[in-house]
């Protein structure tokens, strides 16, 4: 008796969840992300921290409380369903792992969960009849919308759909091209409402980005001269991975040394974006330099310098890439 009391106390303290958290769910009509039918007996299991955190994060961007019940289950991928007046989000753990491995981004699983949340928030799970193409596109649009707000790129927002959806549609689910367009539509609507100059580098993006080692100082041929920008106090150096160096003055002007000349190449612009210390905007107060920058389409190019000093830019596909880093003098 004493022993079982002690065991019970230990289990309580350690937050152990008893095996009864596995339950048979009656699921009749539910949206399944890629349109598969949900057949047979569905069992719900306790969810993992990753899914809980993802749903929690998504809800934070809606301003609504997180009061969904999240369960790992033997559904084909993910599903939104109401049972006993509780709004459930079911997801297949193995499938989510596969999505992550295929797309190499955490955003893929988040976008699927956001889609399911979109069904609940739009009241689709209250309607009899299950999925319809219109409601699927609405949930896809919501997913794109919320992922922009979470600072995902469009590519990240579309990754799960791009990688795993079948080309053709079905009676319940629209074709892949329409669903990708719906995600883009939501993502762009959010962007129009709240444009951002540069993407913030997210941990997920950092993980899948090949990181090039910064070029060692001895390899640089343009090391800063003793007084790189005469008459100005230099507060920071920007060391780019192509080996170029530029200097940030106290007044926020950015210069480079080029063939013995000091040329104006940019401005330091303050940021109120979380995680971004400041923006490096390419521009020149020198008409000749400006002419060349314009010619190369560089004027107005903006790099984001994050709080750890890494300079981020965009590649031709719109993906955030590491351009270099900043060292501060004070």
For residue 239, state whether it binds Zn ion (rule: CB under 5 A): no
The distance from CA 4 to its chain's CA centroid, rounded to whole angstroms, is 47
CB of 201 to Zn ion, least distance (A): 30
d(CA 229, CA 235): 11
Size of the site for Zn ion (CB under 5 A): 3
Exposed/middle/buried for residue 209 (C-beta within 10 Å: 0-12, 13-18, 19+):
middle
The distance from CA 295 to its chain's CA centroid, rounded to whole angstroms, is 33
Residues 20-49 that bind Zn ion (CB under 5 A): 31
CB of 111 to Zn ion, least distance (A): 12
Confirm if 32 and 75 have CB atoms less than 8 A apart.
yes
Residue 35 vs 324, nearer CB to Zn ion = 35
Residue 109 vs 139, nearer CB to Zn ion = 139
CB of 35 to Zn ion, least distance (A): 8
Transcribe 87-120 into DSSP letters.
EEEEE-HHHHHHHHHHH--THHHHHHHHHHHHHH
For residue 182, state whether it binds Zn ion (rule: CB under 5 A): no
Residue 77 vs 202, nearer CB to Zn ion = 77
Residues whose CB falls within 8 Å of the CB of residue 279, separated by 6 or more in sequence, listed in order: 197, 198, 268, 269, 270, 271, 302, 303, 304, 305
Contact pattern from residue 127 through residue 156 relative to Zn ion, giving x for each residue in contact according to CB under 5 A and a dash for the rest: ---------x--x-----------------
Confirm if 174 and 133 have CB atoms less than 8 A apart.
yes
d(CA 131, CA 113): 16
Residue number with the smallest Cβ distance to Zn ion? 31
CB of 256 to Zn ion, least distance (A): 51
Residue 28 vs 49, nearer CB to Zn ion = 28
CB of 80 to Zn ion, least distance (A): 7
Residue ranges in contact with Zn ion by CB under 5 A: 31, 136, 139
């Amino acid at each position: 008796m004493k022993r079982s009391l002690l065991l019970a106390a230990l289990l309580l303290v350690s937050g152990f969840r008893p095996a009864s958290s596995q339950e048979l769910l009656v699921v009749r009509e539910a949206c399944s992300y890629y349109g598969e039918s949900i057949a047979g007996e569905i069992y719900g299991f306790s969810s993992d921290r990753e899914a809980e955190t993802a749903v929690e994060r998504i809800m934070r961007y809606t301003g609504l409380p997180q009061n969904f019940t999240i369960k790992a289950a033997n559904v084909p991928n993910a599903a939104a369903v109401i049972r006993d007046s509780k709004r459930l989000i079911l997801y297949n753990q193995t499938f989510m792992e596969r999505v992550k491995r295929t797309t190499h981004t955490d955003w893929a699983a988040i976008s699927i969960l956001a889609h399911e949340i979109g069904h609940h928030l739009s009241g689709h799970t209250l309607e009899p009849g299950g999925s319809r193409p219109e409601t699927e596109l609405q949930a896809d649009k919501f997913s794109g919308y919320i992922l922009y707000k979470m600072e995902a790129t469009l590519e990240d927002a579309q990754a799960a759909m791009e990688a795993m959806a079948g080309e053709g549609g079905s009676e319940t689910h629209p074709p892949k091209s329409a669903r990708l367009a719906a995600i883009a539509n939501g993502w762009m609507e959010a962007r129009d409402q709240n444009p951002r100059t540069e993407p913030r580098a997210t941990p997920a993006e950092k993980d899948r980005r090949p990181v090039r080692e910064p070029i060692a100082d001895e390899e640089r041929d343009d090391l800063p001269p003793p007084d790189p920008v005469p008459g100005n106090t230099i507060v920071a150096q920007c060391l780019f991975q192509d080996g170029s160096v530029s200097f940030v003055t106290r007044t926020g002007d950015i210069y480079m040394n080029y063939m013995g000349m000091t040329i104006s190449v940019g401005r330091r612009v303050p940021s109120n974006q979380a995680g971004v210390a400041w923006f490096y905007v390419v521009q020149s107060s020198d008409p000749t330099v400006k002419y060349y920058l314009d010619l190369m389409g560089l004027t107005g190019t903006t790099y984001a310098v994050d709080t750890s000093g890494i300079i981020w830019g965009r590649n031709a596909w719109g993906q955030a890439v590491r351009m270099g880093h900043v060292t501060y003098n004070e």
